[in-house]
Amino acid sequence: MHPKVNGEPTPADGCVSGDVGEPLTGNYFISTYPPFSTWTSEAVGAVSQMLHNPKAPSSTPLGLYVHIPFCVERCRYCYYLSHAGKSRRHMDEYVDALANELRLYRDTPALSNRNIRFVYFGGGTPSLLPSETLARLLERLQLIAPWTAAEEVCFECAPKTATTSKMKILRDNGVTRLSLGVQTFNDDVLRQNGRIHLAADVDRAYEAIRGAGFPVVNIDLIVGLVGETEASFMESVDHVIFMAPESVTIYQLEIPLNTPLCHALDTGSTDIALISWPQKRRRLGIAFTRLEEAGYTVRSAYSAVRDEKKHAFIYQDALYHGADLLGLGVASFSYLDGLHFQNVTSDKTYFEHVRCGELPIRRAYELDNEERLIREFILQLKLGHVDVDRLRNRFGVDPLGRFATPLEELRQNRWIQSDADGVTLSREGLLRVDRFLRLFYRSCHRNAKCS
């Protein structure tokens, strides 16, 4: 999954030593730097300046992110911007707006001739789009910015909406990586967390997905869901291993403050049993071991693949190593030439901007050289290894010296080791990497809200 986090961290989010006092609610997953709350409307002008007066032709890889904000029903733990119950007409209007927004960008000097190297369709539930609307979306975007030479085109899918006809449309339009949001194979746990599918729907969807012939299929699980037991979680892991997808992603459940689940916890409106962060990490560690025993390789804090060379997650790898990303759609995030920016979060406002020929940008942040270094360093830690020579050459700063104090603290905990080859996380460090990334922030950002 890509950078769309909303919510607010609790004061204990920076806690490291001994993992004392870790809160069950609040943001955990760190998707970028500096925090979203530091982005401002005043900085939006810098985006227009960059787009219309580029410094020079860019050799930086460029990706495209397309946000589809529609769901049948919002899951209890979900913090992404999405809407349930939207009409076919509304979805068609949204597809038109996406195409028009992309055209606005392609008409700028900075993006008119740049090739798309990777693409990601996220949500919401992108596969909820009706077949005709889905085909029109893919065809219209490619007329404006073809991705025939892209290294990866990834599409998120939900089990209930993964039909044979839709999978064929995706494959015919160049999708190479299909990511299926399963979360668990236990029907009772699915119901308790607001998921609308059951385990039988996954099996049907998987057959349709395999029949379409995607080179890479990823299955998402979550550890720590409401009602989960160690047995139910391990049964889900074993089920995935039996299915043998090319990639498996397992996230630790976080409960940001804007989620239905957090509201239920705050009001005490229901009896909810949740496991602690140490328990989640322990279960995830066991899952990684089982995947390794089955021939998978752990390649990040969240994922394992059957073949590192064939099944790499190019979208994630590229972003974590400084690639540019153009985000389309309501509330989407972009990163171009050292500039973060986010679109407006209202469908109505988004439609109005695009209809008037205006980019629908809400807020932005221009990173300086040190902030770019911090951003790439912490994101690459999530991959388990940082090539410090590459960063040293890229930014003219020695990361080992710049981050000497937090690196020493983490070495004392045996969560990392560093040498001339770079910084490498131990398994225990990898399991809790999002918890200690704030140690590398500038001091002015360590207590900043996420959203």
pLDDT in tens, 220-275: 999 999 999 999 999 999 999 999 999 999 999 998 887 778 878 878 766 787 89
In this predicted model, what pLDDT tens digit does every residue of 46-75 receive, in sequence order?
Answer: 999 999 999 877 899 999 999 999 987 765
What single DSSP character describes residue 339? E
At residue 17 the predicted structure's pLDDT band, cuts being 50, 70 and 90, is: very low
Please tell me the pTM assigned to this model.
Answer: 0.92
Give the helix/strand (H/E) hosting 144.
helix 131-144
N- to C-terminal Cα separation, the chain: 17
Tokens found for residue 43 = 């900085």
Classify 5 as helix, strand or coil: coil
Tokens found for residue 421 = 């080859």
**Chain-wide mean pLDDT for the chain?**
91
In this predicted model, what pLDDT tens digit does every residue of 271-292 receive, in sequence order?
Answer: 787 899 999 999 999 999 999 9
pLDDT average, residue stretch 413-431: 94
- The pLDDT of residue 111 is 97
At residue 372 the predicted structure's pLDDT band, cuts being 50, 70 and 90, is: very high
Measured at the CA of 194, the angle between CA 241 and CA 70, to 5 degrees, comes to 95
**Residue extents of the structural domains in the chain:** 11-318
Determine whether domain 11-318 maps to CATH 3.90.1150.10. Answer: no
pLDDT average, residue stretch 318-345: 97
As a whole number of angstroms, the distance between CA 139 and CA 71 comes to: 22
In this predicted model, what pLDDT tens digit does every residue of 145-204 receive, in sequence order?
Answer: 999 999 999 999 999 999 999 999 999 999 999 999 999 999 999 998 888 899 999 999
Q: What is the DSSP string of 234-271?
A: HHHHHHHHHH--SEEEEEEP-B-TTSHHHHHHHHT-S-
Across 161-223, where does the E strand assignment appear?
177-183, 216-223
Tokens found for residue 143 = 């007329």
Does the pLDDT at position 9 exceed 60?
no
